[in-house]
Structure 1
Amino acid sequence: MKMAKVFLIFSFVFLHLMSPICTLPLAPALYVFGDSLFDSGNNNFLPTFVRANFLPYGSDFANGCTGRFTNGRTIADFIAEYLGLPYSPPYLSSKGPSSLTGLNYASGSCGILPDTGSILGECLNFEEQINLFQRTIEKDLPQMLNNPTQLSKHLSEAIYLISIGSNDYINNYLEPMYYNTSKLYLPKTFAKLLISNLSQQFERLYKLGARKMIMFDIGPLGCLPSISRAHAHEGDCIEEINQIVSYFNERLPLLLRNMTSNLPTSTFVLGHANSLGYDAIKNPSTYGLIDTSNPCCTTWGNGTSECIPMSKPCMNPSKHFFWDGYHLTEAVYSIIAHRCIDDKSTCTPVNIQELVKM
């Protein structure tokens, strides 16, 4: 009887020692802003043509077709996993405002400028996303955090992930039939306009309590199948369009450095999605990729648009760069996210490992 009791105690201690150690998240919350590269389902609740709540979107995602514009996880999802946090739910979902571990305000087809993407339906531009974040701070978070000091600490230690600006070109400047911005602004002047607007919204985020912000630059839009094929450059990047986008990207580092210098205790990190993405397109084997010009899913308009509902995707999405005519595969998002986590050349001046310790 005594031997049985000793064995039982020993077994309990052994199992306790062998059980996984519970660790605290590296940050209290992850707040996500941007466009369809980060949208986790907000557009599902808006009157818009731009949605991804149907297969084959989400065909490799545990929760299925949630509204993510890819086959699996986004950059924001991979970073949430690293931080030890749940995926940030879309703000417009019924569960959104009750989350203490972060929210996703990103909205497909929208951008920095208010009218970007408007021809496709309703979406949340960057200013509107920050308006919703302000509402979260004023109405929702105080119900879950006991006092202003806790709220301030929560906001200052949270990570803010931003990817915005692509649609200001795709669904605005490069669409002269619907928008007159390319007639009103030269490429460099338009880039200055975007940077000026972006600066104002960053200052708003800071005043609301945000301190640790990661902003990704705009990817090589001239390489998108939706653009290259539409201009009869199938398989080739249109460098003239990449050059137009570069005027924005070239101004972004100075903006973020100035923000960090002028706003006390803030850190603005630049994510080099453009150079990393372009290198992967030109040197696919380095990244374990094979196809960097064709969409993985069958799309409308011969590869120039979104996936056709219920169509079968390619056999090996992990070997493809593009998921549809505009968006990347989970495999590429994984590369960008993990480089940002531990590589200071992809996310600078500090990577995410360092940012969470600041």
Structure 2
Amino acid sequence: MNSLLCVLWVLLAFAVETAVGRRYEAIFSLGDSHTDTGNGNVVFAEHSLDNPAAALPYGMTFFGHSTGRNSNGRLIIDFIAEDLGLPFVPPFLAYNGSFRQGANFAVAAAFARNASFYSQIPNVGQFALNTSLSVQMQWFDSIKPSLCNSAQAECMGFFHKSLFLMGEFGVNDYSFAVFGMNISEIRLFVPDVIKAISLAAEGIIRQGAKTVVVPGIPPMGCDPPNLAMFPSDDPDDYDARTGCLKDFNDLSVYHNSLLQEAVKNVQKKYPNARVIYADFFTTVMDIIESPDKFGFIRDVLRCCCGGGGKYNFNISAGCGMPGSTVCEDPSAYLFCQSIESNYSSIFSFGDSYTDTGNLAILYGGPASADFLVSKPPYGMTFFGARSPSPPASLATNQSFNQGVNFATGGATALDRTFFVDRGFKAISPFNVSISFQLGWFDAMKPWFCSSLQECQEFFAKALFFVGELGWNDYAVMLLAGTSIDAVRPRVPEIVGRICAATEELIKEGGETVVVSGIAPLGCAPANIALMANQTGGEVEPETGCLKNLNLLSKDHNLQLRRALVRLRATYPGVRVIYADFYAPIRDFSVSPARYGFNGTDGVLSASCGGGGGKNNFDLAALCGMPGVSAGDPSAHVSWDGVHLTEAANHFIADGWLRGPYAHPPILSTPY
């Protein structure tokens, strides 16, 4: 397990490099347990085999629960996806949503060669499951119809913009074989393993892949299971510098040398593709030779989680089994046990998706005739009438000791003057932009603390939300007739303002800040009804949403995620959490019945509205107007054409708290 934590360094540099000047819209991954994000759970269950990675302590550090990943937290592929501004790559066998942003076909214990080569090996043959590289390639072929039609050009175009990870493969081929062969015999079939990998890479390229990453294998002689199960009485069999087994490491070197040559040959054969060899071996060796340089102080060859002995590995007491122990890591494990009650207050900033009463107060209170949200059927499902929590910042006679909500309907990331000066009409009559909300926050600080140190300590225990800003900025411009192409250049400015606000909260002492992206603009029934002609009218076949509006949302969210990565690097002691608003609504749209929604009508049609038709939205018959009915909110995603029902909000909140819609989940352990 220790080596799995270490090798995260291997591809991070590559991920940063590829993010610069190159935009990937999806990640497709094939491999084994180094990359498996949940497929193993399904495969092992189908064969009635126990999968240790399906239970704690696997997943304890980041997710707070097991995910099927063979690590205490994230894998290399997770870090790459995060750095590229993409969601975690979903496991093909354990996910029912859309694979438009990628799919992970990797399975723990997968081989490069066909599994039948290993099924007769004593003791381990029963674990030689049919999940080899060729099978994973078949799975990849099976999802292509959901990504592109049968026209070759469309598929080629889609995969041009995708990143492909081919492996690591080979470790299981050799690890299984060692139970029935010696190292010299195993070396004889290494070329066959390399051939399987290179042929698969070529197959991916022929289908349109422009970037294929092919990792080598790590130093097998440094792997704690190999050190524990194949000890030698001869000191010369061990590397004096590292304590690793020479023969196993020589096998890794041989594999990697042949693989590098094969990668060069594939690159020559397909000069228009980028075929990248990713070095697993050197990075792990650097860490083992100089552990303190990378923050690993001692016992670098011991498993963190295992059943005792010199290398803390015991095959009868593997990680997660009775008799195994987990290394001490209070900041990662014990803190997770109490994180749910560890925040003393919540401070929220945002727009109408988060507003719990501020805009109603600005309009003159609940009795205002001009404010539809103050009227039934708004609030009907839970409150009967609205009851904000945390309290709206503009409310009177409220205690704010446990938090304040500054979010206000109509709020923008850019200041109101930006829109007024340019003649945009559909802007809120109130100046409620994020900069003004921060001003309200600053004015309220005396409620909570009286000195800089006291404020820093108070806000360090608080949970901050910077919510879904940007939607209104784009809507104001688009409703004025501005084209999407003219709106898109404003994205960096809007994202920059959101990140600047986030940084201000960090400087005030905030140690946990959740920053949400925006929902898919093209899936809101109001936008479909009002903007279809303006945006070209093209719809996504898998969702029915307006494609060009959704591309604008994706662009915003991608730039925001990249900006948050930079912010994390600037403030390494702070948890900056990206909350994904786009993915859950996309998932609702692709598989509505899975979440209890009523098919297409439940996703693209407003629950409360008087417009009828497929979107049930009409500006002359808005929710809250006389004679407008609410329908069944529990069967709908959209409440009024723009905002979400309680049912949809509940799914999203749970996904932010526990995953998979926040990176990292709010209730996971800190970094």
Q: TM-score, structure 1 length as denominator?
A: 0.73
Q: 1:297 to 1:199 in 2, by over 3 A?
A: same
Q: 2:147 matched to which residue of 1? A: 141
Q: Give the CA deviation at 1:147.
A: 6.7
Q: How far apart, CA to CA, are the structure 2 residues paired with 1:289 and 1:317? A: 16
Q: 1:165 matched to which residue of 2? A: 170
Q: How far apart, CA to CA, are the structure 2 residues paired with 1:261 and 1:85? A: 30
Counterpart check, 1:110 vs 2:115: no
Q: 2:530 matched to which residue of 1? A: none
Instruction: Give yes or no for contact 2:27–2:164 (8 Å, CA) kept in 1.
Output: yes
Alignment of 1:167-182 (within 5 A): 167-172=172-177, 174-176=178-180, 182=182
The gaps in structure 1 that reach 5 residues or longer are 1-23, 320-337, 339-358
Q: Secondary structure at the match of 1:110?
A: coil
Counterpart check, 1:211 vs 2:221: no
Q: 1:298 matched to which residue of 2? A: 306
Amino acid at match of 1:26: R
Instruction: Give yes or no for contact 1:36–1:108 (8 Å, CA) kept in 2.
Output: yes
Q: 1:30 to 1:118 in 2, by over 3 A?
A: farther
Q: Secondary structure at the match of 1:159?
A: strand
Instruction: Give yes or no for contact 1:50–1:120 (8 Å, CA) kept in 2.
Output: no
Q: How far apart, CA to CA, are the structure 2 residues paired with 1:206 and 1:118? A: 33
Q: Give the CA deviation at 1:187.
A: 4.5
Q: 1:87 matched to which residue of 2? A: 88
Q: Give the CA deviation at 1:208.
A: 2.2
Amino acid at match of 1:295: C
The gaps in structure 2 that reach 5 residues or longer are 1-20, 119-123, 233-237, 333-564, 566-671
Q: Give the CA deviation at 1:275.
A: 1.0
Instruction: Give yes or no for contact 2:91–2:105 (8 Å, CA) kept in 1.
Output: yes
Q: Give the CA deviation at 1:204.
A: 1.5
Q: Secondary structure at the match of 2:62?
A: coil
Q: How far apart, CA to CA, are the structure 2 residues paired with 1:54 and 1:224? A: 22
Instruction: Give yes or no for contact 2:291–2:300 (8 Å, CA) kept in 1.
Output: yes
Q: Give the CA deviation at 1:186.
A: 3.7
Q: How far apart, CA to CA, are the structure 1 residues paired with 2:105 and 2:331? A: 27
Task: State the Cα RMSD in Å.
Answer: 2.9
Q: 2:590 matched to which residue of 1? A: none
Instruction: Give yes or no for contact 1:296–1:317 (8 Å, CA) kept in 2.
Output: no
Q: How far apart, CA to CA, are the structure 2 residues paired with 1:133 and 1:299? A: 37
Q: How far apart, CA to CA, are the structure 2 residues paired with 1:120 and 1:287? A: 35
Q: Give the CA deviation at 1:278.
A: 1.2
Q: Bigger relative contact order, structure 1 or 2, given CA contacts below 8 A and separation 6+?
A: 1
Q: How far apart, CA to CA, are the structure 1 residues paired with 2:125 and 2:212? A: 27
Q: Secondary structure at the match of 2:209?
A: coil
Amino acid at match of 1:232: P
Q: Give the CA deviation at 1:308.
A: 2.4
Q: Secondary structure at the match of 2:102?
A: coil
Q: Give the CA deviation at 1:55.
A: 0.2
Alignment of 1:5-24 (within 5 A): none
Q: Secondary structure at the match of 2:212?
A: strand
Q: How far apart, CA to CA, are the structure 2 residues paired with 1:298 and 1:195? A: 32
Bigger mean CA deviation after superposition, 296-305 or 52-61:
296-305
Q: Give the CA deviation at 1:245.
A: 2.2
Could you give the per-residue CA deviations for residues 202-252 of structure 1, whole angstroms, max 9, x where no partner exists?
A: 222122222211111110111111011112369831111111222111111
Amino acid at match of 1:316: D
Q: How far apart, CA to CA, are the structure 1 residues paired with 2:136 and 2:151? A: 25
Alignment of 1:1-358 (within 5 A): 26-46=23-43, 47=47, 48-62=49-63, 64-95=65-96, 98-115=98-115, 116=118, 118-120=125-127, 122-137=129-144, 139-142=145-148, 149-162=153-166, 163-172=168-177, 174-176=178-180, 182=182, 186-232=185-231, 236-290=243-297, 291-299=299-307, 303-305=313-315, 306-309=318-321, 312-316=325-329
Structure label with greater radius of gyration: 2
Instruction: Give yes or no for contact 1:41–1:90 (8 Å, CA) kept in 2.
Output: yes
Q: How far apart, CA to CA, are the structure 2 residues paired with 1:242 and 1:318? A: 34
How many residues are treated as equivalent by the alignment? 287
Instruction: Give yes or no for contact 2:306–2:325 (8 Å, CA) kept in 1.
Output: yes
Q: Give the CA deviation at 1:298.
A: 2.8
Bigger mean CA deviation after superposition, 231-240 or 49-58:
231-240
Q: Give the CA deviation at 1:189.
A: 2.6
Amino acid at match of 1:85: L
Q: How far apart, CA to CA, are the structure 2 residues paired with 1:219 and 1:175? A: 19
Share of identical aligned residues, percent?
Answer: 28
Instruction: Give yes or no for contact 2:148–2:158 (8 Å, CA) kept in 1.
Output: no
Q: Give the CA deviation at 1:157.
A: 1.7
Q: 1:331 matched to which residue of 2? A: none
Bigger mean CA deviation after superposition, 151-160 or 104-113:
151-160
Could you give the per-residue CA deviations for residues 245-296 of structure 1, whole angstroms, max 9, x where no partner exists?
A: 2211111111111111102411110111101101211210111112311111
Q: 1:313 to 1:26 in 2, by over 3 A?
A: farther
Q: 1:318 to 1:218 in 2, by over 3 A?
A: farther
Q: 2:583 matched to which residue of 1? A: none
Amino acid at match of 2:175: I
Q: 1:201 to 1:288 in 2, by over 3 A?
A: same
Instruction: Give yes or no for contact 2:307–2:313 (8 Å, CA) kept in 1.
Output: yes
Q: TM-score, structure 2 length as denominator?
A: 0.40
Q: How far apart, CA to CA, are the structure 1 residues paired with 2:276 and 2:129? A: 30
Q: How far apart, CA to CA, are the structure 1 residues paired with 2:58 and 2:103? A: 21
Q: How far apart, CA to CA, are the structure 1 residues paired with 2:107 and 2:293? A: 32
Bigger mean CA deviation after superposition, 294-303 or 224-233:
294-303
Q: How far apart, CA to CA, are the structure 2 residues paired with 1:105 and 1:317? A: 33
